[in-house]
């Protein structure tokens, strides 16, 4: 009961200040969740969820699906995405649904992403999101663009930059037209010996070490990998299993409202 009261208060605060959370890209990836959200400079199939600039650096066509009960409170978050690579150009599309039936809150988003290499070391990408919102306070729709960049100065280091909500237009039925706040995120990913990665994110370029996000990933074989992360003082963890064209990612995220267990299913449909 206490958890639900806290969530109601949090949601009321969000409704009172729509720029704080409405139409923000909710965390959906199990890999990124387990790595503390430190994904701005990390490439792979999960680039569709974070920095679209990572799409050209991943050659496989992949289908991604997650369905999560957030905090164990019956709040459903679903994500379905597809990314591919056509002659070095990364393309992706996705659908996201965030639903709290008890609070009559429903947010749905359609997303299209694309990225290309500007040079062998630099890739640029963009994501366009169209979202709709229904709640007891009224409805709304939005059109938002994110811009990203990844630079790989040496083979073992990637630097990323993401302008989240760089362009935004929101129309509220209740008369407000406050777009989501812009945020500029920076990150670095270091490829370590032994098939491992260490990543760090600086949210909104705030140089307070307590706000930084950290992630570590280690693959012990082609079939099994583990992850650890630190996000807002919370330790996150996860692992992956691979069997043929199928991959299962799992992530654990502690929170005051309750624990979140996120599972992502990925299917490789071909490619290099």
Which pLDDT belongs to residue 265? 93
Q: What does each C-alpha distance from 16 to 22, 51, 72, 82 come to in angstroms?
A: 10, 29, 25, 34
What letter does residue 223 receive in the DSSP assignment? S
DSSP helix/strand/coil, 237: strand
Residue linked to tokens 């990543």: 199
Q: Which two tokens stand for residue 42?
A: 């990390």
Q: Is 240 helix (H, G, I), strand (E, B) or coil?
A: strand
Q: Could you read off the pLDDT of 7-62 as tens digits, one per residue?
A: 433 343 333 333 335 676 667 789 999 999 999 999 888 888 899 998 877 667 89
Task: Please report the DSSP string for 49-99 in residue order.
Answer: GS-GGGGGG--EEEEEEEEEEETTTTEEEEEEEEEEEETTEEEEEEEEEEE
Taking 50 as the threshold, does the pLDDT of residue 158 lie above it? yes
Residues 88-133 pLDDT 10s: 889 999 999 988 888 888 999 999 999 999 998 999 999 999 999 8
Phi, psi dihedrals of residue 125, rounded to the nearest 5°: -145, 165
Bridge partners, residue 107, by sequence: 98, 133
**Residue 8: what pLDDT?**
39
Q: What is the pLDDT of residue 175?
A: 66
Pair 124, 158: CB distance under 8 Å: no
| Cα 168 to chain centroid, rounded | 18
Which pLDDT score, from 0 to 100, does residue 208 have? 67
Q: 221: which residues sit within 8 A by CB, 6+ positions away? A: none
Q: Which helix (H) or strand (E) holds 166?
A: strand 157-172
Question: Which tens digit of pLDDT belongs to each residue from 257-267?
Answer: 777 888 999 99
- Residue 233 three-state SS: coil
């Amino acid at each position: 009961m206490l958890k639900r009261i806290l969530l109601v208060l949090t949601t009321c605060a969000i409704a009172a200040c729509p720029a704080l959370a409405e139409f923000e890209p909710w965390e959906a990836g199990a890999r990124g969740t387990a790595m503390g959200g430190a994904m701005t400079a990390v490439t792979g199939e999960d680039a569709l969820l974070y920095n679209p600039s990572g799409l050209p650096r991943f050659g496989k066509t992949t289908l991604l699906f997650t369905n999560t009960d957030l905090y164990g409170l019956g709040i459903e978050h679903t994500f379905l995405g597809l990314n591919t690579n056509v002659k070095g150009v990364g393309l992706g599309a996705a659908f996201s649904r965030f639903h709290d039936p008890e609070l009559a809150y429903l947010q749905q988003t359609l997303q299209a992403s694309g990225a290309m290499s500007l040079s062998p070391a630099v890739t640029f990408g963009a994501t366009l999101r169209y979202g709709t919102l229904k709640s007891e306070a009224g409805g709304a729709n939005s059109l938002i663009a994110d811009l990203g960049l990844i630079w790989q100065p040496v083979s073992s280091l990637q630097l990323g930059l993401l302008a989240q909500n760089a362009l935004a237009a929101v129309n509220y039925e209740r008369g407000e037209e406050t777009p989501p706040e812009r945020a500029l995120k920076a990150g670095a990913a270091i490829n370590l010996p032994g098939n491992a990665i260490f990543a760090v994110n600086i949210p909104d370029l705030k140089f307070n070490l307590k706000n930084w996000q950290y992630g570590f990933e280690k693959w012990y074989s082609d079939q099994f990998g583990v992850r650890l992360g630190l996000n807002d003082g919370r330790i996150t963890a996860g692992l992956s299993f691979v069997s043929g064209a199928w991959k299962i990612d799992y992530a654990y995220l502690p929170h005051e409202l309750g624990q979140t267990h996120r599972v992502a299913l990925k299917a490789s449909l071909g490619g290099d």
